[in-house]
Amino acid sequence: MGEDRDYKGPEEASTQMIFRYFLVIFLITIFFVGKLLWPFMSILVLAFVLTGIFYPIYGFFAKKMRPAMSSLITCSIIFLVVFVPLVFLVGALSKEAYGLYVMGTDAAISQDLKELFQNSRIMERIQSVLANYDIKLGAEHLNRGLSELGGSVGLFLYEQVSTVASNVLRFVVNFALMLLVIFFLLMDGKKLISFLVELSPLPDDQDRKLMGKFHAMASVVLVVNGISGLIQGFLGGVVFAIFGLGSPFLWGFIMAILAFFPIVGIAVVFAPAAVYLFLKGRIAAGIFFIIFYLVVSSVIEYVVKPKLVGNKVKMHTLLVFLSILGGLKVFGILGIIYGPLVITAFLTLTDIYRASYETYIRKA
């Protein structure tokens, strides 16, 4: 009986051989399609993310006019909201980032900084306390640390920005290509999703869950963190300008990026700035910086973000922090988006595995 069960007729064996042959050809074509699209992967990812963000605007216009015209209007809005500010940002940021890098690579102690450390009573007290533990902390040490930090931050930002600024034509072409992809995604995005769901061997509910998590994370990363980052960066830059601290535009941009990190945030910039003001003898300004940071960060993190995020994404704070940090290191500035998306895919697939396949694998 066992032999009868294992016996496969000529037709079944032929079908299996044909299927294997088809599978090999299909996988080869997938490989080459992926290789063809890989140079445009950043454009495609950003296009999918921006399509999800601006789709409600397209839906509003689609109720009153044809899909092509609605998509065209939506792409025009994306151009005005994203491209125009981005051009201004790249030009201004490139100059200030290079200035910060040059300043950081200069190891010589400026006269102003040297006098600051020598005449500061707070610095004298800190040095006397550290001397009890055989720790030396002088102006040279602090200047070297600040120089290395400023040089590293300035170089990273300059490399990211100069990549765009060095080839304006390529930047314009890539943005135009992204708008073209968004134009068709707005009209045919639902058809594409249905096609991918039908093509996937996973059950439809699992495919929908995975895509839903991606959309939720993308909207949270770009919309919620983007808006809160812009608010904190703008306010921080304004405060830097009011109190006469250098490169307010650059530091505002850095604070906008740091606002994506849920643990440290803009404290990385505001804490040293407050210490600098205290050492300069500007006690009132230093206290204002501390109070300003506490108020802004508290309102954003505990009032604004919870209302905007809601229950869209449930991810541990430390995991979000590490995903963004790792994404920046691997993918550059776009790692702010890629890092959380990779972690989201892993966590969603983990949930699907535990719900649907863990028991099956244990039995096998």
Count of beta carbons in the 10 Å neighbourhood of residue 343? 20
Q: What is the DSSP string of 83-100?
A: IHHHHHHHHHHHHHHHHH
Cα–Cα distance, 141 to 153 (Å, whole number) = 18
pLDDT tens-digit readout, 80-98: 888 877 777 666 666 665 5
| Paired tokens of 37 | 């699209």
For residue 133, name the pLDDT band (cuts at 50, 70, 90). low
- 213, amino acid identity: K
Cα–Cα distance, 15 to 26 (Å, whole number) = 16
Cα–Cα distance, 359 to 209 (Å, whole number) = 20
pLDDT tens-digit readout, 135-156: 555 555 555 555 555 555 555 6
Cα–Cα distance, 170 to 40 (Å, whole number) = 12
Distance of alpha carbon 5 from its chain centroid, rounded?
A: 55
C-alpha dihedral sign at 155, 160, 161, 167: positive
Mean pLDDT, the chain, rounded, equals 75
Cα–Cα distance, 165 to 158 (Å, whole number) = 10
pLDDT of amino acid 2: 47
Q: Pick the closest to residue 296 from 275, 316, 270 (CA basis).
A: 270
Tokens 């206290």 -> residue = 287
Give burial (CB, 10 Å; 0-12/13-18/19+) of 239.
buried
Quote the Cα angle for 329-175-36, to 5°.
70
pLDDT tens-digit readout, 99-132: 555 555 554 445 555 555 555 555 556 556 555 6
Distance of alpha carbon 1 from its chain centroid, rounded?
A: 61
| Paired tokens of 82 | 């994203």
Q: For residues 8 and 23, which has the higher predicted lDDT (pLDDT)?
A: 23
Q: For residues 76 and 170, which has the higher predicted lDDT (pLDDT)?
A: 76
Angle of helix 121-131 versus helix 111-119 axis, rounded to 10: 70
Q: For residues 296 and 10, which has the higher predicted lDDT (pLDDT)?
A: 296
pLDDT tens-digit readout, 244-282: 877 787 778 878 877 877 667 788 788 878 877 877 778
Q: Are 40 and 177 in contact (CB under 8 A)?
A: yes
pLDDT of amino acid 74: 93
Cα–Cα distance, 145 to 148 (Å, whole number) = 5
| Alpha helices in 167-316, H assignment, sequence order | 168-199, 204-219, 225-242, 248-258, 267-279, 283-299, 305-309
Share of the chain above pLDDT 90, in %: 7
Cα distance between the two ends of the chain: 23
| Paired tokens of 134 | 């055989």
Over range 321-333, report the average pLDDT. 80
Give the domain ranges of the chain. Answer: 37-110+136-193, 200-265+308-364
C-alpha dihedral sign at 30, 35, 36, 38: positive
Cα–Cα distance, 299 to 293 (Å, whole number) = 10
Tell me the backbone φ, ψ of residue 134, rounded to 5 degrees.
60, 35
Using the predicted structure, report yes or no on whether residue 361 has a pLDDT greater than 80.
no
Q: Are 265 and 297 in contact (CB under 8 A)?
A: yes
